[in-house]
Structure 1
């Protein structure tokens, strides 16, 4: 890494020193005829170098937020796609291979539009608009019966956040540090009913399977970012308080915590590595606690960014589960046991725009 850094430094010095040197040599040879042309070339070179310097910085990491607040008048937006396939039952961290309470498979796909704007000095507002496609496949305890399939698609619960910068690195502070708060609003449908025979126990799908929870959920966040050279380090935490939702249900309180590092290889590509944690309480479903929901999962997310232009970028990350402790319970007979449904990995992509 030291040799690579030294080589990059030498190349940067050659570029920085080469332009004025060449301009000076050309001026000496064609002193009377090329002064105006040389000035234009120098101005063009400075503009190119400034643009290259911006693109040599590592952009924001794909599976987490950060501590940077947009300057006043700045506007950015992105579209994020996430694919999650849960098809394994876990008792804590131990994978269960029996048919406990039937066979389950859940595929969640989401497309989320996020828009951020710097409204005032040190303050930004952002809105997140998710669209979901959720498919749940279930078999009752009798495996001879056909699969039951529930599909819900449409607008999810929108989130509105405000964030204030306590420290800003671009204004001379040693890092960027911010705090924020907001609310998740009940804009998604929370009234999808269960099919037979599952409706005998619950008339409606649980809050995690619906497009929305039917509740107003406060959110609180804190973030920090340190930029140095081609590198960046980000840390972020968000806590969500689940409110009373539709049909006497409530999504469990959730803590998201993230730590990430990104490195700019050149003006076109970045590499990143994140640690992402999700710690969620059990859901309440139809007035009773659902003991097979919630738990603690930690992911490691490698990713790559393609800086297409200085205003357009594409990022891809693959969160891989490295630790899990999912809630559940054993029962007699064993087929009546209920365990947490989990995945081994996810896929996250993001297309970002800057205005």
Structure 2
């Protein structure tokens, strides 16, 4: 179960602690801020809580997730299934631009590479560009104005930019998105959450993807101007797909939690972070392959 993730989690923490030894020394020379400020979360679909990008600022980001799906689950129980497995590499390119004070636009385009090894059946690979999320975000409550937290709403859509076919990650469908987030920032502490809900139109092969809900949480403590340590969690619920009016019975829910770190290089406009997240809860309507842990990484450049 989740205890199996701790060797990788401890490695993540050890890397962060090693980085902190250099960061502590560098921090003594860094006078850019009297109080270190923590950065946002690491995971692929994290949406930076209630914050928006400052007007005129452009941000590019590359996210990566590694997940090895080799455990069969049905409902909330692990099963003794065959030796099939999926090894997934998810890359996501993001762009964000501040169009006005408290308003920004953002995009996220995934590139998927998943190797599928099925027992007693031919192996295959799913690879290609996925569908792109495009969002408008507005912060309507701000600590800058004396409020206790920052709060934003999101409105957007998912465009069918992905490649479609039997072994392609695209759906050929449009989706509508609503969401929002909240951030509490105090001194060295950052606590925040965000959520999104997407509904899809019918795509290729009479397939209508099930509605998708994502909720992310994040706590970070700025050890120095160079280093943050914290915890991150991701919850995702994908409802049943529908093919030509027939429910496919593939509803899934999952919650992943684990330690994370960020290293910050303000003079270069760079942030690099990583996280190791273990499965705290999984529920599958039908027998499905799931991962017990995942590794996340991000690289952000501000212009």
Q: If the length of structure 1 is used for normalisation, what is the TM-score?
A: 0.72
126, 129, 134: which one aligns with 1:152: 126
Q: Give the superposition deviation at 1:183.
A: 0.8
Coordinate RMSD, CA, aligned? 1.9
Check if 1:290 corresponds to 2:264.
no
CA contact (8 A) 1:294 1:340 kept: no
Q: Give the superposition deviation at 1:286.
A: 6.1
2:110 and 2:281 mapped to 1: Cα distance? 27
Check if 1:75 corresponds to 2:58.
yes
The equivalent residue for 1:12 is none
The equivalent residue for 2:42 is 62
1:125 and 1:352 mapped to 2: Cα distance? 16
CA contact (8 A) 1:153 1:211 kept: yes
Q: Give the superposition deviation at 1:343.
A: 0.8
1:170 and 1:79 mapped to 2: Cα distance? 29
Q: Give the superposition deviation at 1:285.
A: 4.4
- Deviating beyond 4 angstroms after TM superposition, the runs of 4 or more aligned structure 1 residues are none
Q: How many residues align?
A: 272
225, 229, 233: which one aligns with 1:275: 233
Q: Secondary structure at the match of 1:247?
A: helix
Q: Give the superposition deviation at 1:81.
A: 0.7
Q: Give the superposition deviation at 1:191.
A: 1.2
2:243 and 2:80 mapped to 1: Cα distance? 25
Q: If the length of structure 2 is used for normalisation, what is the TM-score?
A: 0.84
1:158-237 equivalent positions in 2, closer than 5 A: 158-192=132-166, 210-237=168-195
Q: Identify the structure with the greater helix proportion.
A: 1
1:1-355 equivalent positions in 2, closer than 5 A: 49=31, 51-53=32-34, 56-63=36-43, 64-65=46-47, 66-99=49-82, 104-139=84-119, 145=120, 147-192=121-166, 210-285=168-243, 288-291=246-249, 293-310=250-267, 311-328=269-286, 339-355=287-303
Change (3 A) 1:76 1:172: farther
Mind listing any 5+ residue stretches in structure 2 that lack a counterpart? 1-27
Mind listing any 5+ residue stretches in structure 1 that lack a counterpart? 1-14, 16-44, 140-144, 193-204, 329-338
1:191-230: CA deviations, max 9, x gaps?
12xxxxxxxxxxxx5xxxx311110011111100011010
1:52 and 1:299 mapped to 2: Cα distance? 33
Q: Secondary structure at the match of 1:306?
A: strand
Q: Secondary structure at the match of 2:209?
A: coil
Q: Secondary structure at the match of 2:33?
A: helix
Q: Give the superposition deviation at 1:344.
A: 0.2
2:81 and 2:236 mapped to 1: Cα distance? 26
1:250-287: CA deviations, max 9, x gaps?
22111111222110001111011123211121123465
1:49-80: CA deviations, max 9, x gaps?
3x2347x1000111222110122112212110
Q: Identify the structure with the greater strand proportion.
A: 2
2:276 and 2:78 mapped to 1: Cα distance? 21
1:225-253: CA deviations, max 9, x gaps?
01101001101111111221110112211
